[in-house]
Amino acid sequence: MTRVVEHKCLLEQLESQHRNLTASFVANYMYPLIVDNSSYEPKSIICAVEEEFKYKISYNKAYRVKQKVLEMRWGAYEASYHNMPALLHTICLRNPGSYYDLKTYPCAQKPGKQVLQRSFCIEVLH
């Protein structure tokens, strides 16, 4: 004999966050909006996700989403620093008479690594 028991779940007991709404997933969804408007704030990201997916993400996750989108568009900061010498060299090749220099100092936390202090590129006029 089978007994049917009435189901009494309350909607308040459901999780308010969805585990598939990762920062990477949301970054892919929000990419065109944030790239077109880099001043897009985490509050706006939270509202857009809640409107589209009916789940509320944390401010921290929304902030990470924006950082991921900017990294997807412009690359990581470390990559930018690694590319700087090649970029400055190319600028000098295309502008004869130009000169560039990079000033670095050793990183205390990571022996063998250098930290960029400043860079400059000037054109020497004859």
Is 3 inside any structural domain? no
**Are 84 and 65 in the same domain?**
no
pLDDT at 17: 60
**Are 39 and 59 in the same domain?**
yes
| Residues 70 and 45 sit within 8 Å (Cβ to Cβ) | no
**Are 15 and 67 in the same domain?**
yes
Q: What's the whole-number mean pLDDT along residues 24-48?
A: 93
Tell whether the model's pLDDT for residue 7 goes beyond 80. no
Tell whether the model's pLDDT for residue 14 goes beyond 80. no
User: What Rg value do the Cα atoms of the chain yield, rounded?
Assistant: 25
**Are 41 and 67 in the same domain?**
yes
Q: Which ranges in the chain belong to alpha helices (H)? A: 23-36, 42-53, 59-74, 77-94
Q: What's the whole-number mean pLDDT along residues 56-71?
A: 94
In sequence order, what are the beta bridge partners of 99?
A: 122
**Are 86 and 56 in the same domain?**
no
Tell whether the model's pLDDT for residue 15 goes beyond 60. no
Percent of the chain with pLDDT over 70: 85
Q: What's the whole-number mean pLDDT along residues 115-125?
A: 83
Is 57 inside any structural domain? yes
What is the per-residue pLDDT across 68-116, written as a single tens digit (0 to 9) for each? 999 999 888 778 778 888 999 999 999 988 999 999 889 888 888 888 8
pTM value surpassing 0.75 = no
Torsions phi, psi of 65, nearest 5? -60, -50
In a 13 Å sphere around the CA of 25, the CA atoms on its Cβ side amount to 9
**Are 16 and 70 in the same domain?**
yes
Query: Across all residues in the chain, what is the average pLDDT?
Result: 84
Indicate the number of domains in the chain.
2
The domain containing residue 39 runs over which residues?
11-74
Domain boundary residue, one of 59, 74, 89: 74
In sequence order, what are the beta bridge partners of 121?
A: 100
